[in-house]
Amino acid sequence: MSASLLPPSLNLPAHLSAHKYFFVCTLTVAAWDTLVLSPRTWRLMKTGEWPPLKIIFQILRYLMPIEFTIVAVAFFDQWSLDMCQKFYLFEPITTAILLALCSLSLLIRLTAVYDKNRAVMFGLGALLAVQVVADAVCCGFYQAMPLQEGQGCIAGPRMSFVALYWAVPTLFYTICLGLAVHRSLRSRRSKAIGLWKLILRDGLNLYGAIWIVNMINFLFWVIAQPTDGADTIKTIVTSMCAVLTTTMTLRVILSVRGSLAEGGSYAGQSQGSSSGNRSGPSGVSFSRNKETNVVNISNNGSGRNPQTYTLEEMRSKAERDWHDDGKGSIADSRSVLESKTPDADETLAPYNGGYPGVTVTIDREIENPTGVRRT
């Protein structure tokens, strides 16, 4: 059968045919990601708190597959031109909402990573406001592509400056990637860690994936030249870009350790905070104040007052236990141990509950003249 005898739904131009095949890949990614994230979404849903990141996660989680399921119906069904004129703005408007929520999630997360740094917060916030305004204005300059009836309903740009719809989000994600990499490298100075572990720990692969798909999509808008007014090559990557940006943002949120309140905590944060407490064995607790270099050692079960030492006192005490030549006095220590070796009665004495601590039992072997060893 010649191409001229095929119906319009099958007689597709090369770029439109590639566009439809690529959209099938987009739907596959969206469906697979929705299925894979279902268990983790349910576990997150059961947590009691509802910070902004959790709310945004739930919106993105359901809005993305719903949007592209509806878009797929218009994309593959044989809609009339009148129906398409009423529907074509659905995809650009909904995608703009998805991108704004993704950007807001990264803003909250990076603000937490940078310890509520105002420059990061207000800088990304201003750029997010520009993104929202630019996308809203550009939505008014979309049109329904003049395809033949039965070839689908696809939205495309009427003016060349509609590329700002993707240019501003791409700039936002570029800055986010730069901030994430800078924070990771800065944390690496205080604690050595392998490069691959650093990438996985801080989710740099996720930020990088978001940047790559948006940059590729933007290059399509700038470089690709349509053959006629019905060529959809400029929008061939937009759906996949929106899906991958959303899925990677969901994983950025899920990679947060601990609570999602205020953006969560940073995994590379130095463990030596201004003060820290540790619990030792037998109820002994250690607490250190970094600013004053004071160490408190207390026995939680003895009821005694905690002893306080400065780090200088502890160093000087350790130095007094050693000779000037840097070698320990092994002979003196051995003589002290022998002089304080308990008798058998002392070893078998019942434990005194008034002095909690560690009981040390010493077993000795005595060889008598008959050659029989007794313990």
Distance of CA 357 to the CA centre of its chain: 43
State the pLDDT at residue 280. 46
Q: Is residue 196 in some structural domain?
A: yes
State the pLDDT at residue 314. 56
Picking from 217, 239, 263, the residue at the C-terminal end of a domain is: 263
259 lies in the same domain as 279: no
The vertex-179 CA angle with 56 and 64, nearest 5°, equals 25
Picking from 263, 288, 309, the residue at the C-terminal end of a domain is: 263
Residues 6+ apart with CB under 8 A from 192: none
22 lies in the same domain as 152: yes
227 lies in the same domain as 351: no
Q: By the 8 A CB rule, do 136 and 67 touch?
A: no
Tell me which residue has tokens 């697979």: 32
State the pLDDT at residue 367. 52
Residues 6+ apart with CB under 8 A from 77: 152, 153
253 lies in the same domain as 113: yes
Q: Is residue 328 in some structural domain?
A: no
Q: How confident is the model at residue 140 (pLDDT cuts 50, 70, 90)?
A: very high
Q: Is residue 3 in some structural domain?
A: no
Number of other residues whose CB lies within 10 A of the CB of residue 36:
11
State the pLDDT at residue 271. 45
352 lies in the same domain as 253: no
197 lies in the same domain as 314: no
Residue span of the structural domain in which 91 resides: 8-263
Q: Is residue 329 in some structural domain?
A: no
CATH number, domain at 250? 1.20.1070.10
Q: Is residue 35 in some structural domain?
A: yes
Q: By the 8 A CB rule, do 149 and 80 touch?
A: yes
197 lies in the same domain as 299: no
pLDDT tens, position by position, 152-171: 899 999 988 999 999 999 99
213 lies in the same domain as 71: yes
241 lies in the same domain as 288: no
Percent above pLDDT 90 for the chain: 51
Number of other residues whose CB lies within 10 A of the CB of residue 202:
23
Assigned token pair, 165 = 């719809």
Q: How confident is the model at residue 130 (pLDDT cuts 50, 70, 90)?
A: very high
Distance of CA 177 to the CA centre of its chain: 12
User: In this model, does residue 361 exceed pLDDT 80?
Assistant: no
State the pLDDT at residue 89. 94
User: In this model, does residue 103 exceed pLDDT 60?
Assistant: yes
Q: How confident is the model at residue 109 (pLDDT cuts 50, 70, 90)?
A: very high
pTM of the model: 0.71
Least confident of 180-184, 191-195, 243-247, 300-304: 300-304
State the pLDDT at residue 257. 82
State the pLDDT at residue 368. 54
pLDDT tens, position by position, 210-262: 999 999 999 999 998 898 888 899 999 999 999 999 999 999 999 998 888 88
182 versus 257: the higher-pLDDT residue is: 182
pLDDT tens, position by position, 267-326: 776 544 334 444 444 444 444 444 444 444 444 444 444 454 555 555 555 555 554 554
State the pLDDT at residue 263. 86
State the pLDDT at residue 338. 52
Q: Is residue 268 in some structural domain?
A: no
Percent above pLDDT 70 for the chain: 70
Provide the CB-side half-sphere exposure for 105 (13 A, CA): 30
255 lies in the same domain as 353: no
Q: Is residue 288 in some structural domain?
A: yes
Residue 33's nearest CA partner among 242, 243, 256 is: 243
Least confident of 117-126, 221-230, 337-346: 337-346
134 lies in the same domain as 21: yes
Q: How far apart are CA 163 and CA 75, in angstroms?
A: 22
State the pLDDT at residue 282. 43
32 lies in the same domain as 135: yes
Q: Is residue 2 in some structural domain?
A: no
> How many domains does one find in the chain?
2
